[in-house]
């Protein structure tokens, strides 16, 4: 699906709003030369009344939509996971809130059943329960699919819902409502796509973005100094710059996509405990380099005051680790554990020999009640 965006420049009439353009002074058509910009739609009210007049780009982009009047098929998608009970009986548990898991399962199912869904390029999915397709899927009314993801069996049920004509300014409420919903999610569709692991190019692109509903954020990348770019708000919390969008209809019945910039706060969920503790030390006034701090930990443990300080500041934090060390049949091995950080125990660190021949420093901390 393709939406062509034309950039919209400021209008010379500051009193006109985007949806109330004067019929006697309609927006100019986009010039043929791209360096001259696109049609003028809107200027901020009061612009130019103080100081020098500046020609600023407004955040309205005219949509050159090629979907008008085309039939669009809407499908309802339901997700469940097979769970084995204590007596071996298999039941299904619905999945409704985990957007990341839902997205991954849906696109894996589409790629695995290309004979049913066709090309994934003509499908739009809202990561919840609605999918839109330019082509009718090859089944009658309803079809159930089963796929294996991470050693679990997921059940995906696709049901025919609505056939409508695409039109953002349609007189039919159903057509207008569904068309607007579909157009809103097209903007972020590629960044929300869950590519196959072997598709390295697509994985690299998707990894640069984070989406939330109709907003999109560029994930800061690691710089040469091994630190994430972007302001640090608090230990483990950073501000990311993003953009949100909404589809609007102008008075001349043309479509426009409204953009706005925004900052949102994100937790660094992949931050290890030592790095998180380093940020807390820095916030408390301790100076030093994180690399040097980790080097020191390899040679010596924390003293009692440091352990108490770490316990006081991190108590109650949810912890997930895939480096929990278990001693099984005379060998150490890694295991994944979830829990709530309770305290740092007053035990010295020790070195454990792992099956692959490497050594690692074992840190003692206590997690209570898995979450």
Q: Which H, E and C letters describe the chain, residue by residue?
A: CCEEEEEEECCCCCCCCCCCCCCCCCCCCCCCCHHHCCCECCCCCCCCCCCCCCCCEEEEEEEEECCCCCEEEEEEEEEEEEEECCCCCEEEEEECCCHHHHHHHHHHHHHHCHHHHCCHHHEEECCCCEEEECCCCCCCCEEEEEEEECCEEEEEEEEEEEEEECCCCCCCHHHHHHHHHHHHHHCCHHHHCCCCCCCHHHHHHHCCEEEECCEEEECCCECCCCCECCCEEECCEEEEEEEEEEEEECCCCCEEEEEEEEEEEEECCCCCHHHHHHHHHHHCCCCCCHHHHHHHHHHCCCCHHHHHHHHHHHCCCEEEEEEEEEEECCEEEEEEEEEEEEEECCCCCEEEECCCCCEEEECCEEEECCC
If you average pLDDT over residues 114-142, what whole number do you get?
91
pLDDT digits 0-9 by tens, 227-269: 445 566 766 677 777 887 777 777 777 777 777 777 777 766 6
- Measure Cα distances from 10 to 13, 35, 65 in Å: 9, 15, 22
Residue-wise pLDDT tens digits, 273-299: 666 666 666 666 666 655 665 565 555
Residue 264 — φ and ψ, nearest 5°? -130, 155
Which pLDDT score, from 0 to 100, does residue 158 have? 95
Model-wide pTM > 0.85: no
Instruction: Kindly report, residue by residue over 140-195, the tens digit of the pLDDT.
Output: 889 999 998 878 899 999 999 999 999 887 889 999 899 988 888 887 888 888 88
Flag whether pLDDT at 360 surpasses 50. Answer: no
Average pLDDT, the chain: 71
For residue 21, pLDDT over 70 is answered with no
Domain ranges in the chain are 71-267, 273-368
What is the C-alpha separation between 6 and 257, in angstroms, rounded?
Answer: 10
């Amino acid at each position: 699906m393709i939406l062509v965006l034309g950039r919209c420049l400021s209008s010379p009439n500051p009193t006109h709003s985007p949806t109330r353009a004067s019929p006697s002074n309609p927006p100019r058509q986009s010039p043929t030369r791209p360096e001259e910009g696109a049609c003028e739609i809107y200027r901020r009210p009061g612009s130019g009344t103080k100081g020098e007049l500046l020609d600023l780009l407004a955040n309205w982009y005219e949509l050159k939509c090629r979907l008008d009047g085309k039939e669009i098929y809407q499908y309802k998608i339901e997700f469940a996971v097979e769970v084995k009970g204590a007596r071996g009986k298999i039941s299904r548990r619905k999945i409704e809130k985990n957007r990341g898991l839902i997205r991954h399962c849906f696109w894996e199912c589409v790629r695995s059943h290309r004979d049913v869904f066709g090309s994934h390029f003509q499908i739009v999915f809202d990561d919840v329960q609605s999918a839109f397709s330019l082509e009718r899927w090859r089944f009658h009314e309803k079809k159930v699919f089963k796929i294996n993801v991470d050693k679990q069996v997921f059940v995906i049920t696709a049901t025919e819902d609505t056939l409508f004509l695409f039109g953002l300014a349609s007189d039919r409420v159903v057509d207008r409502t569904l068309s607007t919903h579909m157009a809103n999610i097209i903007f972020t569709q590629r960044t929300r796509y869950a590519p196959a692991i072997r598709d390295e190019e697509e994985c690299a692109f998707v990894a640069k973005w984070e989406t939330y509903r109709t907003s999109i954020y560029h994930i800061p990348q690691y710089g040469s100094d091994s630190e994430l770019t972007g302001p640090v708000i608090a230990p483990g919390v950073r501000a990311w710059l993003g953009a949100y969008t909404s589809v609007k209809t102008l008075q001349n019945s043309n479509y426009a996509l409204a953009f706005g910039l925004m900052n949102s706060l994100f937790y660094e969920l992949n931050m290890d405990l030592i790095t998180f503790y380093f940020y807390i030390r820095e916030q408390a006034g301790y100076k030093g380099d994180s690399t040097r701090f980790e080097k020191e930990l390899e040679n010596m443990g924390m003293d009692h005051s440091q352990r108490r300080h770490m316990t006081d500041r991190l108590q109650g934090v949810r912890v997930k680790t895939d480096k929990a060390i278990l001693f099984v049949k005379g060998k150490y091995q890694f295991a994944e554990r979830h829990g709530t950080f309770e305290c740092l125990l007053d035990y010295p660190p020790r070195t454990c020999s792992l099956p692959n021949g490497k050594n690692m420093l074992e840190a003692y901390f206590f997690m209570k009640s898995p979450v």
